[in-house]
Structure 1
C-alpha cells in the first residue's frame, strides 16, 4: 500500500460517496490494481478489530504453508487448556479433546465460521503456544509496515485493548494476502458454509452471495468493537478492498459495505497498465549469477480515474537496491509507484521474474570484471 490520500474531488453526483457511509466511523476503499485510495474516512484511526484479527492468523498460516513449515494435512488435537478456556466460547467450530483436526479444516473454520477455538488449536499446534504464535503475528505486521496495529490474541477476543488495527493497515494485510497467496486465498476464503464433525454453519459475510464479485474476507463484532468488516470483490479483473470499522449495527455495516463497493466499481474507470506476469522494469542484483532481473506484475496493474475523465499517468519503479542474491522467482522485491494526474502517488508490489542464484567463484570474477567497464 502506498501513502493514504483523500478521496478524489467528485466531478459529478456519480462520484459522490454513498450516503450509507454517514453512520460508519471508519471506512476505506482501495483499488488493489493501482493501490489508489478511492475513499477514506479516518483510515489511520486505531480501532478494535474483533474477529477481523483472524485475518492475520490466516496470513501467518499461509506464510508457513508457503515455506513448507506447515502442511494442510497435519493433524492437531485440542489441549486441556484450550478446551477449558475455549470450548464453545463465542464463534466456534465445536472442537473437543476427542477429535483430531487437520490444518485444512482449522483454516476453513477460522476463515468462514470465525472459529475462536480453531485459532487457539492452530496457534498451539503450529507454534507450540499462543504467545509464540502472537510473536509471529506481530513480526508479520512489522514486516508489512502495519505501524498502527498490534495483536494480543489470535482470534480477536476482548483483551483490554492490546489488539488494535487501522483501516489502512488492514488493507495492507489484505493486499499482502491476495498478492502473496492467491491460491490459498481462493481455497480458504469466502465459502458460504462450512461443515465439520457433522455440524454445518453459515458464513456471516454481509456481501458474500449478495454483491457481484464479492469473495470475502472477514467480519468482526464485540460490544467493545462494534461491527467491522474487511471485504473484497472483483469484477472484470478489477479488485477492490474495503474496510468498515465501528459500525453500530449489523444493518449499518451491511448497507455501508454494499454501497461502498458498488460505488467504487461504478464511479471510477480503470485502465490496465500491465497484465499479470508482464515485465514492468528491471532491478540490479549483486552477488548473483546474473547482474539484473526482470520485475513483473504479480497481478493486473491499473490506474483508476473518476468516470468520464482520463488523467495522465506517471510511473516509477522503486526498490532498495541493488538486490542481494539469491532471489527466487515470485519474491516481492520492488514496487511500482503510480501517480494519476496531480493526485498522491500510490504503490503496488512487483515480483522477481526469474530466479537469481548466489554467484559461484567464476560468476563473481566475471561480474567484478564487468563492473570495471560499466
Structure 2
C-alpha cells in the first residue's frame, strides 16, 4: 500500500494557516446527560456526550411513529384524507383522561390523518399516536414491533420501541446518535412533510395548542423537530437549524427543566455554527495524485474523486488535519476510467478517520506482447 506524502503538501497549501479558536470541541460541555451535534449534509458527528449510550427518549421517539406514517402515505396505503378512529384505548391512554399530551379528540370520533399528523408533530398528541398505531398495525404493540424493524432498516442500531408514544417503559430506548440519524432521515426523505415541524400552533376540537419546541421561539434558524419529557428521562429535544445554507442537528436529553432545555439548545447550536466550518478539500474531477501503471500504454494514471470532497472541522481539527492517498502500487493495466483505485484518507484529532474513494481519471490500455516483454526485461535488469 502506497501513501502519497506529496499530497500532504498540496492539502496544507489548500487549507491555509490555522488560527487560535475561542472554543474547542474537546473543551465544550453541557449540563445535559446526553448530547450529539451532527452535520446534516455529511452525517458527521461534530461533538457528543454519551452519544452512543441508550436512554429513555420519551416523546422524541414519536419521530419514529411519524416516519412509519410518512412512509405509509408515500407508498399510497394511506392518504391525508383518510380518517382513523379514536378508540377507547387511545382516548383513555392518550387522551385528556390520562393527563398526558393530547389533541383532545372525542371518544370514537373519526379524525383525518392530516390532523393526526399535525397533532403528533405540534401537540405531541398521545391519542393521535395510538390512533395511527391501531389503524396501521391493528394494535399499539404490533406497531411498536414495526417501528423497531423500520428503525433497523434505516440504520438505527440501538433503538427498541415498545409503544407509539414514548410512554415510560424500561425497554423503550434509543441513543442520541440514533435520534440524530432519524431526524436527518426525516428531513432528507420527507421534505413535503418537514415544514409542518415549524408550525407554531394547531387547533382541534376548539382547543388551540402551541408547538412545544422552544427553539422555534428562541432561535429563528430552528425549524424542527420534537421535544420529550418524562420523570425518568428528564427534558429533551431533537432540534434542527439552518444558517447560511448549513444545517445542524442537535439532540439533548436529561436536562433538569424546560428553561435549561431552551437555553442549552440555543447555546449549543450557536456554538456549533461558529466553531465548525465547511472546508473544500478536493473538487470533483481534480487529480490529487498520479498512480504508476504496470505494463500500460501510459506510465501513470491520475486519481480523482467523482464528487467534491468537503469536510466539517473545528479550527483545532483543521490545524492538525492529516491527509494521505493510499492504493496498491503499481496498478496493473488495463485500467478503465472510473475504476476504483484507492482512497483519500482524512485524519483529525478526536474523530474517526474518514476515507473517500478515488478512481482512475482516464483509461490506460495494456501494452502489446513485445512491449510487455521489453518492459519485463528492463525491470529485471534494473532490479527494481
Q: Note whether the superposition's TM-score is higher than 0.5.
A: yes
Q: 1:56 to 1:315 in 2, by over 3 A?
A: farther
Q: 2:163 aligns with which of 150, 153, 156?
A: 153
What residue number does 1:237 align with?
A: 245
Deviations 1:251-295 (A, max 9, x none): 2222211111011101111146899xx99xxxxxxxxxxxxxxxx
Q: 1:128 to 1:16 in 2, by over 3 A?
A: closer
Q: 1:151 to 1:98 in 2, by over 3 A?
A: closer
Q: 1:209 to 1:315 in 2, by over 3 A?
A: farther
The whole-number CA distance in structure 2 between the counterparts of 1:83 and 1:216 is: 27
What residue number does 2:128 align with?
A: 118
The whole-number CA distance in structure 2 between the counterparts of 1:219 and 1:18 is: 27
Could you tell me whether the CA contact under 8 Å between 1:194 and 1:200 is conserved in 2?
yes
Could you tell me whether the CA contact under 8 Å between 2:88 and 2:108 is conserved in 1?
no
Could you tell me whether the CA contact under 8 Å between 1:315 and 1:338 is conserved in 2?
yes
The whole-number CA distance in structure 2 between the counterparts of 1:212 and 1:338 is: 37
Number of aligned positions between the proteins? 298
Q: 2:145 aligns with which of 135, 144, 164?
A: 135
The whole-number CA distance in structure 2 between the counterparts of 1:138 and 1:272 is: 37
Q: 1:91 to 1:274 in 2, by over 3 A?
A: farther
Q: 1:126 to 1:30 in 2, by over 3 A?
A: same
Q: 1:126 to 1:305 in 2, by over 3 A?
A: same
Q: 1:58 to 1:138 in 2, by over 3 A?
A: same
Q: 2:177 aligns with which of 168, 177, 180?
A: 168
- SS of residue in 2 equivalent to 1:48: coil
- SS of residue in 1 equivalent to 2:69: helix
Could you tell me whether the CA contact under 8 Å between 1:305 and 1:340 is conserved in 2?
no
Compute the TM-score of the two structures, normalised by the length of structure 2.
0.70
**For 1:1-374, what aligned pairs fall within 5 Å after superposition?**
12-16=21-25, 21-88=29-96, 89=98, 90-97=100-107, 99-159=109-169, 161-186=170-195, 188-271=196-279, 302-307=310-315, 309=318, 339=346, 341=348, 343-345=351-353
Q: Which structure 1 residue ranges, 5 or more long, are not aligned?
A: 1-9, 280-295, 317-335, 349-374
Deviations 1:161-199 (A, max 9, x none): 12111101111111211221122222x312111111221
Question: Whose radius of gyration is greater, 1 or 2?
Answer: 2
Could you tell me whether the CA contact under 8 Å between 2:229 and 2:236 is conserved in 1?
yes
The whole-number CA distance in structure 2 between the counterparts of 1:347 and 1:61 is: 35
- SS of residue in 2 equivalent to 1:205: coil
Deviations 1:30-54 (A, max 9, x none): 1111222111111111110111111
The whole-number CA distance in structure 2 between the counterparts of 1:236 and 1:200 is: 33
Q: Which structure 2 residue ranges, 5 or more long, are not aligned?
A: 1-18, 286-305, 327-342, 357-384
Compute the TM-score of the two structures, normalised by the length of structure 1.
0.72
